[in-house]
Amino acid sequence: MKNCLKFTFDSGQTALAIRVNQQAELPNALEQIGLSNSRPVLVVVGGASNISEADFLRIQRLFVEVLAPIAETLGTYVVDGGTDAGVMRLMGAARTQIDASFALVGVTPERKVALPNELKAADLTPLEPNHTHFVLVPGSDWGDESPWISEVATVLASGAPSLTVLLNGGEVTFKDAFSSINTGRLVLAIAGSGRTADILASALVGKVTDDRAQELAKSGKLQYIDLIDIEKGVDNLGEIIKGLLSTKE
């Protein structure tokens, strides 16, 4: 298939990629790059801005000690935005740190990213080199990939459980949350990670007036866990997330 690519990063790591133009192409496109078996899917969205060093270390622990090990244990697909920034960088680094083998799939608008082995324009964002697969989608603005991330997760799950974990994040993260919830996927906001995640968690306890957050809270598909719970017990937090990924809606 002419839209299939193989990326080689400066680190020597490689990833398979494919270009798509319409969501109807996704089942065949994902199969073309070896992603065809139904299995649980973990979607990770958000950012990592304007947080304290202590909270960043807690978030890092969440990836290294909870999310990446769960993905490896359950054999899940992990889907995110694929760029070398924020939670996507943390997910890639955690996968490599624990020497995991799960598929890590980045879904990103091709016009916004610098592809390996191509001339890199200053306004383009590099891809995260620890990802195993990339789906390059149409779009010239951040946020154009949001519905694609959700649809890729739906196609990959193919009836298996799926969960979106939302940390920190800005305006695009609201779009990510709506995209997940509109497809029936539970969104788990990590309270204490800042910005959008905290707004959503506050909405769930009636302490925010943001209309978007209130709408998401009323959906019945939004829950939260406090980041401080990582200090209280990584094992307990891991069991909660594992349970959500093991139960069909």
pLDDT per residue as tens digits for the range 171-203: 999 999 999 999 999 999 999 889 999 999 999
Section 46-55 average pLDDT = 79
Look at residue 4 and tell me if it is in a domain: no
Question: What is the C-alpha separation between 74 and 41, in angstroms, rounded?
Answer: 9
Phi-psi region of 69 (alpha: psi -120 to 50; beta: other; left: phi over 0): alpha
Look at residue 6 and tell me if it is in a domain: no
Q: How confident is the model at residue 247 (pLDDT cuts 50, 70, 90)?
A: low
Look at residue 164 and tell me if it is in a domain: yes
- Kindly tell me the sign of the dihedral angle through the C-alpha atoms of 206, 211, 217, 218: positive
Query: Poorest-confidence range of 21-25, 150-154, 202-206, 240-244?
Result: 240-244
**pLDDT tens digits along 86-104:** 999 999 999 999 999 999 9
* Confidence (pLDDT) at 55: 77
Provide the domain limits for residue 208: 14-19+38-245
Look at residue 2 and tell me if it is in a domain: no
> Residue 98 sits in a domain of what CATH number?
3.40.50.450
**Could you tell me if 163 and 186 are in contact, meaning their C-beta atoms sit under 8 angstroms apart?**
yes
Average pLDDT, the chain: 91
Whether the predicted pLDDT of 51 surpasses 90: no
Look at residue 100 and tell me if it is in a domain: yes
Look at residue 28 and tell me if it is in a domain: no
Q: What is the dihedral of CA 90, 93, 221, 238, to 10 degrees?
A: -110
Whether the predicted pLDDT of 82 surpasses 90: yes
How does DSSP assign 39-63, residue by residue? Answer: --EEEEEE---S--HHHHHHHHHII
Whether the predicted pLDDT of 129 surpasses 60: yes
* Confidence (pLDDT) at 232: 63
Give the number of domains in the chain: 1
Tokens of 203: 């909405």
Whether the predicted pLDDT of 249 surpasses 60: no
Whether the predicted pLDDT of 218 surpasses 80: yes
Whether the predicted pLDDT of 21 surpasses 60: yes
Look at residue 127 and tell me if it is in a domain: yes
